[in-house]
Amino acid sequence: MKTAFVGLDYIVDIVHPSGKLVKKGGHPLDGGTIDRVNGIISLSGEKNWLRILVKVGFMPGYVNLPKQSPFFGAAQALGALELGSSGTDFHPDLRADLVDMIVQKPRVSAFYCTSLESALRANKIERLVLAGVSTPWAVQATARDAHDRDYSVVIVEDACAAASQDAHRESIELLSRIAQIMKTEELTRL
């Protein structure tokens, strides 16, 4: 089955200790998360999977930021998630140089107003292996959209994170109804 790995929002503002949203209670990663994601990227290359990283961000000046959104509305006030700023760079330890494609998204789902689906269709992808932050937001929204577009979906549980372990666990439980849940080391079976 033609497969793509899609890694979501491993950017400085969201996951790095210096990130503007991390300082406001963002998404703590355990010490091995980025290493596991790098392992998935490497495995994806060995398996000839399409490798994609996705980052959320808004145009300079926040012209496309939905200011009425409780979720995104505060980004401008914090100076966070502005494309071209260091906050929307990938985590410095992430091997973004090894991926085939980087997608910028202006909303929660990686499918909304992006080139993701056209790349997946052009490469005849049938299965998405998803990981990222946050589990209840970007991972869940992208998984739901992928499911509704008839992709087979795999969530790599130990390469995802949320603001709390409870939120992560609850999301994984919901996602198990539309996706296969796996650990990083299990991906070799795909």
Average pLDDT over residues 114-127: 98
Q: Which CATH architecture has domain 3-189?
A: 3-Layer(aba) Sandwich (3.40)
Q: According to the model, what pLDDT value does residue 84 have?
A: 96
Structure confidence by residue, pLDDT tens digits, 38-75 = 999 999 999 999 999 999 999 999 999 998 998 898 89
Side chain identity, residue 45: G
117 and 111 Cβ atoms separated by less than 8 Å? yes
- Residue 14: phi, psi to the nearest 5? -100, -35
3-class secondary-structure state, position 102: strand
Asked which of 70-74, 174-178, 185-189 is least confident by mean pLDDT, the reply is 70-74
- Residue 18: phi, psi to the nearest 5? -85, -5
42 and 49 Cβ atoms separated by less than 8 Å? no
Classify residue 82 by burial, with Cβ atoms within 10 Å: 0-12, 13-18, 19+.
Answer: buried
Structure confidence by residue, pLDDT tens digits, 17-38 = 899 988 766 666 777 999 999 9
Q: Can you give the pTM of this predicted structure?
A: 0.96
